[in-house]
Structures are given as structure tokens and as C-alpha cells.
């Protein structure tokens, strides 16, 4: 990211000047940062400047952060990182379901912000969601066309539900998927009974097959009250 | 109903005497051309008319008079009460019986009609009273409407309703001990003119025994409790049976009115509570936003200074600590305001333990947390709020790490019947017996706490609050061999 030509453009939408300054300082020469103080200005700038990433504060004076998120998501796949001062899980779930890619709870450390932004940019650049026939993260190697999973080269037997669940998690590695999103990925179009309620049970069973110690998962982590996240490439290698 | 109203006035007697004479004269003129049965029927008609219009006394008088007149003028031999033809005795006797019975029947009909009219008036009065008590804007007005009606109808000097709540609340005027007795026992008390009191074992106004009473206290029952007391008093209480019925019928209305006063008061109180709750939540939301935004800036600036000044790391660390304290205070107020957890659902213990271990990884700084899962190879499941339960476990593990700097921390999970039992144990110095309940109180730090243990003293209070708000429990047990065990109980679940 140090090369000026590949310098990403980050838009920070926040009504508090100190936060905008803090974000600007956090990236120094590593990124160009433009600012918007209101939600409507933020939406306009997203359309006009086509940033590589949007950092969105929730406590905006004019429009709710969730509405900004939904509006931008209607016409742009730009990664959105949300900053929130409240740590209400329901709010996080609503944001992720509304199209946000990740969230940070205030106060956050600069290191954390940098790491999240780096991960989001790398993921957006790789855009692995289409075309990839195999995904390898750590010891796990998922062959999408053959519908197989190898752990340290050995085949692991998975039920169809477990396999779909793992594929959903791994194709969105590094990103928190809400229960609703996972349910949609795995069970949509299928007959199901109490599947949504038992998502947690399927995850626990899946962990017992892919994790060395299911109580100290290296791959599938729980975001209490929000959903699940497969540790991303950046997390795993970094 | 007062029968004396029916006593006919003198001119009634005169009128019916004239009518009877007129009829007799008319019949005398027609005597040669008519049969005796015609006379009997005509007199019968007279008796019926008299009974219907003039009342039963006139009816009976007319029956006797008709009997005599019929016999005297129209049964041969004329001009005597004697009877020539033996068959005429039958006619006479039949006439006497029929006219007597007819007068009696008409009388009874009239009486029933009158009593029905009375009842209709009474029902109308109750309906009007009910409507007015239910419709008045203020519940207190309903009470006075009822007492007004009672005191008018019973000619009382005093008629008051004492709602129980205000009776018990009014500290200024010492509550009448007799009123207190009525409330406590739910039975009527009667004050006698000589100053003594008669306590009864029934509610309502008794039918008899009020001759020497000057004051009666009646309990007002709402379902199974006494909501208030109706007090009636007069120098000389004279209550007719109809009035007793009236009063006893009114008592449920009075009780309802009292209940309405209570409900209005409760509703007002609830409204105040809601308002203060709303204010509190708005305040908390704004505090959390307004504190966290500057904290973010402070941490960012400290980070920028990082390389140049070693004190910057301290600023960042302290800002983090301040943030945790703000979070603790917010959580505590949330727990104490009784906000119930909405995300109580089926969860796996794996998720709970895994997320908690991940959270404490930094705080326990490499300390070993040994986990034993007594699951017999199957998943342990429960119905609980995952985020809240993670918070509880994190607080317990961090607590153990702080207070027991040496030795391992152990987390044992097992199913015990309908409960999941999660036990966090350490080998610290334990908790003195005196402190074992107090450690769960907010801001309490037991004596002998290690000097460099930091914390707001809220962790256990929050943990217990969160446990109880999802139907679980958090308790302390001294650990055999030294140290502490905290036991978190959550509802276990099975796969259907």
C-alpha cells in the first residue's frame, strides 16, 4: 500500500472532527482520506469519488447510519466499516444484514482500525466470491467443485449441511456473517424445520470436525449475539 | 312497599257507595224483566271495578254490600235476607265466593304491579348510578357520587368511603382503629349509641339489630381483598328493610369505585416510572456516546505519540480502562433496571466457552485456563442468552485471574438434571464467610484484596444480574483445598 499509485481512497463519514482527524492520522501516507460530516454528503461523495472503502459513523445528525448503509449498498459494492459507540448486538446484526462488511465499537485502537481496513481492502481486491474452485486457509482446503474438504491433506467427511455451512463461512473468510445471512446461504430454497434454531448445533458439530480444539477454535469463531466468522487470510497469516 | 298509601280517602267510599246505590236503583227498575243471574253478574262487575280502581278495602266492602243488596232486593222473598228457594242459596254462596276471590286476585295483581314498578325505579337508579360512577372523569368524583346517593336515600348525617390505600398512607390522621379492624377482618362493625361497638362476622348491612346503632362500618370487597370501608352514621340510624337491600346492592358499586381510585393512582405511578425509565435510557445512550467518542480520540492521539513518548502507552492503557468502567456502569444500570434479555434461545456450550476463552485470552496473559467438559461425547445445549453468558464467564475468569495470581484457573461444565452447571475455580485465598454474599453487591471489594488488583467492583454484580435476568443463578462456594468456586447455572436443553 506504500506505492502512491495504488494508494487506496478512504471516505470517512463522521460528524465529529476529532474522529475524522484520528482516522486521517491512522493512515498517514498509506491512504488518501476524504471526509464527509453528514450522511447525505457521505452518500453523494461515495457516488462521486468512488472510494475503495467507506468508514461510517452511526451517530450522524441527519440520516441513520443504517439508512446510509442500505442506500449505498443499492448501487455500490464498496466495503463499509461501521463505527458505533453503543455496543448493542441487535444494532450490529441490523447493520451487517443491511450490507455493512464489518464494525468497530468505540473506542477502538488505531492498530485495530488499521487491521480491519487492511483486511477489507485485501478481500475486496481478491473478490474470491466468484470463480474460485478451491479455497485454502491454514490446514483446511475446500474444493468447491468436488464438494470435498481436506484437512492436512486428509479427506474429512462432512454432511451436506455442514459442507454448505463451511463453504459459506470460508468464501466470506474474515467477515462476520449474521445468523440470518448464514441461514440464507445454507438453507435457502430447501425444506427445513427448525434449521435456523439449530444453526448453532450445526456449527458446533462442524467445529468438532475441523478444529483441533473446538473450545479454542482457530477457524470458526463466535461473535456472541451477532453470528460467526471464519478467521480470514490476514488474521491467519498475520 | 307501603300499603298505607292505599288507604282510600273518604270521598272514595262515598263515591263507591253512590255507585252501588245507583246500580241497585237501576236494577230495581229492571227487576221485572231480568233474571237473578243478571243481577248477580252486574254486582260482580261492580266488585271487580271497585277492587281494580279503589283498592282491596273498597273491593271487599263492595263484595259484602253487593252480597247483602243482592239477597235483600233480588232474591225472593224480596225485602228480607231470607231465601225462599233452596237453589238460591247456591247462587248466593257462589256469588259470595266469586266476588271475594275476585277482589283478592285483583288486589294481589295490583300489589305485584306496584312492587314491580318500585323495582324498576330501583334498577333505573342503580343503572344511572353505575353509569355516572363509571363515566365521571375523576375516580374520586365517583366515590362522592355514591356517598351522595346513599346519604340522600338513607337520610344520613355522615356517609364516607375510606379507600384502604389512602387510609394506610395518611400518616397525619391516625387511622381509626375500627376502620383498621374492618379492613383486616373484612366484616361489618357497628357503633352503638352508648359508645360500645358490636363486631359482626359477616360483611354487608345486617337485616336486624340496628335499632340502637349510630354508626356502621362496612367492608368493600374487591375480589378477595378489602379495598376500603364504607362508613354511614347518623344520630339515630333508622333503616327500613328496603333500604338495607338498597345499601347492600350499592356496596359492590362502592367497591368498584374504590378500586378505580386505586387503579388510577397505580396507572399514574406506572406512567411516572415509564417516563423516568425513558429518561434514564436516553441519558445512558447519550453518556455512552459522549464518553466513547472522546475516548476514541484520546486513544488515537496516544497511539500517534506512541513511538516518541513512553507515557503515550500509559494514556492508551488508561483510556481503555476508563472505557471498561463506562461499559461496566452501563451494564450494571441495564441489569438493575430489570431489562430482560431478549436473546434467550438454544445455544451450544461450545460457543459459550469458546467465545469466553477468546475474550479472556488477553486478560489472563498466558495463564492456563483448564477446561473440562463433561459432555459424554455429545453436545451440551442450553437455552440462554449467549452474549450475556459470555460476559458472565469472562467476568468470572478475569476475576479469578486477578484475585488468584498463581495456579491454574479451572472451568468445569456439566449437565445436572435440568441445569447446565459452569464452575470457575481458582486457588486464590478464597472469600471470607462474611463476604460471601456481599461480593455480589455493586462496588464491594472484600477486605484483603490484593493491592494491585484493579477493577470497578462491578464484575460480580453484573454477572449475577445477567445470570438472574435469564432465569439462571450465580453462587459462590469455597473450594475444597483452598480457593474459590463460582457456579453459574443456566437452563439446559435437549435436541427435540
Q: In chain A, positions 46-65, which contact chain B (CB-CB < 8 Å)?
A: 59
Averaged over A8-22, what is the pLDDT? 91
Which of B294, B371, B385 is opposite residue A215, by nearest beta carbon?
A: B371
User: What's phi and psi for B231, nearest 5 deg?
Assistant: -110, 125
Q: Is A189 on the interface with B (CB under 8 A)?
A: no
Q: Which helix (H) or strand (E) holds A184?
A: helix A179-187
Average pLDDT for chain A? 85
- Whether B354 sits inside 8 A of A215 (CB atoms) is yes
Which SS3 state, helix, strand or coil, does residue A81 take?
strand
So what's the ipTM on this one?
A: 0.85
> C-alpha angle B19/B24/B27, rounded to 5°?
125
| B442-469: pLDDT as tens digits | 878 776 666 556 667 888 999 999 999 8
- Residues with Cβ within 8 Å of residue B82, at least 6 apart in sequence: none
Which of A25, A85, A216 is opposite residue B289, by nearest beta carbon?
A: A85
**B426, HSE (Cβ side, Cα atoms, 13 Å):** 21
| Least confident stretch, A176-180, B125-129, B451-455 | B451-455
What pLDDT is recorded for position A2? Answer: 43
pLDDT at A238 over 50: no
pLDDT at B2 over 50: no
| B383-416: pLDDT as tens digits | 999 989 999 999 999 888 888 877 789 999 999 9
What pLDDT is recorded for position B313? Answer: 83
Which of B288, B379, B381 is opposite residue A86, by nearest beta carbon?
A: B288
Is residue A236 very low, low, confident or very high in pLDDT (cuts 50, 70, 90)?
very low
Is residue A166 very low, low, confident or very high in pLDDT (cuts 50, 70, 90)?
very high
| B473-486: pLDDT as tens digits | 999 999 988 889 99
What pLDDT is recorded for position B454? Answer: 65
Pairing of strands A80-84, B189-192: unpaired
Per the omega criterion (within 30 degrees of 0), is the bond before B243 cis?
Answer: no
| B66-118: pLDDT as tens digits | 888 888 888 878 888 877 777 778 877 888 888 888 888 888 888 888 889 88
Identify the closest residue of chain B to A221 by CA–CA distance. Answer: B355
Q: Is A15 on the interface with B (CB under 8 A)?
A: no
Averaged over B202-214, what is the pLDDT? 81
Closest by CA to B36, choosing from B91, B106, B118, is: B91
| A186-195: pLDDT as tens digits | 887 666 666 6
What pLDDT is recorded for position A51? Answer: 95
Cα separation, A100 vs A169, in Å, equals: 16
What pLDDT is recorded for position A132? Answer: 65
Query: Shortest Cα distance from B292 to chain A (angstroms)?
Result: 6
pLDDT at A215 over 50: yes
- Whether B346 sits inside 8 A of A87 (CB atoms) is no
User: Grid coordinates 447525505 are at which residue?
Assistant: A40
- Residues with Cβ within 8 Å of residue B299, at least 6 apart in sequence: A107, A108, A109, A110, B315, B316, B319, B320
pLDDT at B441 over 80: yes
What pLDDT is recorded for position B172? Answer: 44
Is residue B317 very low, low, confident or very high in pLDDT (cuts 50, 70, 90)?
confident
Write down the H helix ranges in B218-310: 241-305
Q: Is A88 on the interface with B (CB under 8 A)?
A: no
Is residue B175 very low, low, confident or very high in pLDDT (cuts 50, 70, 90)?
low
Which of B350, B385, B387 is opposite residue A207, by nearest beta carbon?
A: B350
| Least confident stretch, A64-78, A121-135, B33-47, B434-448 | A121-135
Amino acid at each position: 500500500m506504500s506505492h502512491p499509485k495504488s494508494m487506496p481512497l478512504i471516505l470517512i463519514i463522521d460528524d465529529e472532527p476529532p474522529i475524522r482527524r484520528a482516522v486521517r492520522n491512522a493512515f498517514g501516507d498509506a491512504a488518501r482520506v476524504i471526509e464527509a460530516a453528514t450522511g447525505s454528503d457521505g452518500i453523494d461523495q461515495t457516488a462521486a469519488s468512488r472510494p475503495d472503502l467507506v468508514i461510517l459513523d452511526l451517530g450522524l445528525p441527519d440520516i441513520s447510519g443504517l439508512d446510509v448503509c442500505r442506500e449505498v449498498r443499492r448501487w455500490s459494492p464498496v466495503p463499509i466499516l461501521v463505527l458505533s459507540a453503543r455496543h448493542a448486538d441487535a444494532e450490529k446484526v441490523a447493520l451487517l444484514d443491511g450490507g455493512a462488511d464489518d464494525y468497530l465499537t468505540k473506542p477502538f485502537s488505531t492498530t485495530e482500525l488499521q487491521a480491519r481496513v487492511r483486511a477489507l481492502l485485501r478481500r475486496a481486491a481478491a473478490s474470491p466470491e466468484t470463480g474460485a474452485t478451491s479455497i485454502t486457509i491454514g490446514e483446511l482446503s475446500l474444493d468447491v467443485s468436488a464438494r470435498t474438504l481436506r484437512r492436512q491433506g486428509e479427506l474429512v467427511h462432512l454432511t451436506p449441511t455442514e459442507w454448505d455451512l463451511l463453504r459459506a463461512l470460508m468464501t466470506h473468510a474474515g467477515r462476520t456473517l449474521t445468523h440470518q445471512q448464514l441461514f440464507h446461504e445454507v438453507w435457502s430454497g430447501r425444506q427445513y424445520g427448525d434449521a435456523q434454531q439449530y444453526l448453532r448445533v450445526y456449527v458446533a458439530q462442524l467445529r468438532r470436525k475441523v478444529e483441533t480444539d473446538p473450545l479454542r477454535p482457530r477457524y470458526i469463531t463466535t461473535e456472541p449475539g451477532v453470528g460467526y466468522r471464519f478467521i480470514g487470510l490476514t488474521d491467519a497469516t498475520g | 312497599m307501603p300499603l298505607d298509601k292505599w288507604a282510600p280517602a273518604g270521598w272514595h267510599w262515598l263515591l263507591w257507595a253512590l255507585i252501588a246505590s245507583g246500580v241497585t236503583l237501576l236494577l230495581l227498575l229492571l227487576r221485572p224483566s231480568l233474571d237473578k243471574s243478571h243481577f248477580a253478574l252486574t254486582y260482580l262487575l261492580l266488585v271487580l271495578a271497585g277492587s281494580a280502581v279503589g283498592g282491596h278495602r273498597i273491593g271487599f266492602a263492595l263484595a259484602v254490600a253487593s252480597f247483602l243488596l243482592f239477597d235483600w232486593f233480588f232474591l225472593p222473598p224480596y225485602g228480607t235476607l231470607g231465601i225462599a228457594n233452596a237453589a238460591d242459596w247456591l247462587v248466593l254462596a257462589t256469588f259470595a265466593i266469586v266476588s271475594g276471590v275476585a277482589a283478592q286476585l285483583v288486589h294481589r295483581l295490583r300489589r305485584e304491579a306496584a312492587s314491580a314498578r318500585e323495582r324498576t325505579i330501583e334498577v333505573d337508579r342503580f343503572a344511572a348510578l353505575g353509569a355516572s360512577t363509571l363515566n365521571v372523569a375523576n375516580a374520586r368524583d365517583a366515590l362522592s357520587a355514591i356517598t351522595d346517593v346513599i346519604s340522600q336515600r338513607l337520610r344520613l348525617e355522615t356517609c364516607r368511603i375510606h379507600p384502604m390505600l389512602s387510609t394506610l398512607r395518611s400518616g397525619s390522621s391516625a387511622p381509626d382503629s375500627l376502620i383498621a379492624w374492618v379492613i383486616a377482618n373484612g366484616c361489618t362493625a357497628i357503633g352503638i349509641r352508648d359508645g360500645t361497638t358490636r363486631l359482626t362476622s359477616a360483611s354487608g348491612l345486617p337485616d336486624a339489630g340496628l335499632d340502637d346503632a349510630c354508626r356502621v362500618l362496612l367492608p368493600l370487597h374487591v375480589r378477595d381483598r378489602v379495598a376500603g370501608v364504607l362508613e354511614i352514621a347518623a344520630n339515630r340510624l333508622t333503616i327500613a328493610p328496603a333500604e338495607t337491600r338498597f345499601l347492600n346492592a350499592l356496596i359492590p358499586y362502592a367497591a368498584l369505585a374504590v378500586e378505580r381510585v386505586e387503579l388510577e393512582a397505580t396507572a399514574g405511578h406506572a406512567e411516572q416510572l415509564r417516563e423516568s425509565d425513558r429518561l434514564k435510557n436516553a441519558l445512558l445512550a447519550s453518556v455512552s456516546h459522549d464518553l466513547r467518542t472522546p475516548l476514541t480520540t484520546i486513544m488515537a492521539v496516544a497511539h500517534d505519540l506512541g513511538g516518541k513518548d513512553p507515557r503515550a502507552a500509559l494514556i492508551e492503557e488508561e483510556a481503555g480502562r476508563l472505557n471498561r468502567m463506562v461499559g461496566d456502569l452501563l451494564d450494571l444500570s441495564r441489569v438493575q433496571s430489570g431489562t430482560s434479555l431478549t436473546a434467550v434461545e438454544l445455544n451450544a456450550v461450545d460457543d459459550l466457552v469458546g467465545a469466553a476463552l477468546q475474550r479472556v485470552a488477553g486478560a489472563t496473559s498466558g495463564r492456563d485456563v483448564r477446561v473440562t467438559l463433561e459432555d459424554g461425547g455429545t453436545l451440551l445445549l442450553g437455552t440462554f442468552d449467549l452474549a450475556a453468558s459470555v460476559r458472565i464467564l469472562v467476568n468470572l475468569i478475569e476475576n479469578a485471574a486477578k484475585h488468584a495470581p498463581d495456579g491454574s484457573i479451572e472451568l468445569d461444565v456439566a449437565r445436572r438434571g435440568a441445569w447446565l452447571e459452569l464452575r470457575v475455580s481458582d486457588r486464590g485465598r478464597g472469600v471470607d464467610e462474611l463476604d460471601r454474599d456481599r461480593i455480589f453487591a455493586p462496588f464491594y471489594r472484600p477486605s484483603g484484596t490484593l493491592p494491585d488488583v484493579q477493577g470497578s467492583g462491578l464484575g460480580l454484580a453484573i454477572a449475577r444480574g445477567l445470570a438472574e435476568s435469564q432465569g439462571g443463578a450465580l453462587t459462590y462456594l469455597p473450594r475444597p483445598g483452598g480457593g474459590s468456586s463460582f457456579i453459574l447455572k443456566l437452563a439446559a436443553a435437549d435436541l427435540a
